[in-house]
Amino acid sequence: MSRTVTSAQVVNIADLRRLAQRRLPRVAFDYIDGGADGEVTLRENCRVFDDVTLRPRSAVVTQGCDLRTSVLGTDIALPLLLAPVGSCRLFYPRGEAVAARAAGAAGTIYTLSTLSGTRLEEVKAATSGPCWYQVYLCGGRDVALGAIARAKAAGFSALVVTIDTPVAGLRERDVRNGTKELVSGRPLSMLPFVGQFLARPRWLLDFLADGGLMSFPNVVLPEGPMPYADVGAALEQSAVCWDDLRWLRDAWNGPIVIKGVHTADDARRAVDGGASAVVVSNHGGRQLDGVAATLRVLPEVVAAVGGRVEVLLDGGIRRGGDIVKALCLGARAVLVGRAYAYGLGAGGEAGVTKAIQILRADLVRTLKLLGCASVSELGASYVAVSPHWRREP
């Protein structure tokens, strides 16, 4: 699998994480791996799955398991989508197109971040499957409208509106690794941090061959694509409010997914604003630290929407059993970000494919051990949840 990943080396997502750490410079690996502030929410997103126990049906022989589902009317081969992850070209050449191609081959949906280094048209052309476009309002309304029009023309099938980034969270690893200095273009500021690149010569050669430090070709400002150095300021100037849903809905004229829902109240506002689906998400613990883990919030959101829209979940998915628990608690499907980003960083398309294969195999094995033949049959009877989870929203 590429030059760095073999089947013997990789049994689970943690193995892909280890190989990504070995291949990538520290600044790129920590961009994937790190969270905000003390990383409490980052850790809790994963740990919370331990609070939910499985309740199998024994003496049931399941010859095959049906993993198929549909999201927003699109049939997919397994209840797992690839979440938007920005700056994927830092991890692997043409990283967004590479990941999209792997998603299409697996029969699922790829979600492209506004803050990607690859043109959205190239990403859509790279995959045989459906694509969603995740929009930030970087550069203002007119710039966002231009990107939305391009995404619609290219064949993206849903618009994902992220609502939890009024400012960028404080990711302390990025500060310590000199992220701002490395993109400043000032040699004296960059110098103390360049050693981490020189320590990864194979990555550095790939990075330079792919054009070096990227810009954001889907954020086209009057002077050209937004440079990489402007990310933090651009996010702070482009916060989404509920009123924006009106013009976004009119511009897109298709399914809208609201990502970043933490509470029942916001779930209801998203439905009232015309969302077709909501994603229970805390941005992978990369924004406000100390918020609840997404799995913990999921039952509250499911109850609040009352079946009016589909509910998806991201955050902390590392095993097929995690996917099963989320589906049992009401998620239609899950999105994975870090799990495939580790694969991308470890070995490009082969690494992303391996991450999906690991989660698919985990999912099948878990279903068979549960005595459940299909993801459509999963429900609350297959899990036990602590009583304190059952509070009313």
What are 30's two structure tokens? 């920590």
Which one, of 232, 199, 194, lies nearest residue 213 by Cα? Answer: 194
How far apart are the C-alpha atoms of 272 and 355, rounded to whole Å? 36
Q: Across the chain, where does the E strand assignment appear? A: 53-54, 69-71, 74-76, 80-82, 110-113, 131-135, 158-162, 215-221, 224-227, 256-261, 277-280, 310-314, 333-336, 383-384
Q: Please name the residue that has the structure tokens 């409490």.
A: 40
Question: Does 283 qualify as catalytic in the annotation?
Answer: yes
CA distance 106 to 353: 8
The residue annotated as part of the active site, out of 124, 200, 268, 283, is 283
CB contact at 8 A, 111 and 71: no
CB 289 within 8 A of CB 39: yes
Give the amino acid at 129: G
Query: Which sequence positions are flagged as catalytic?
Result: 283
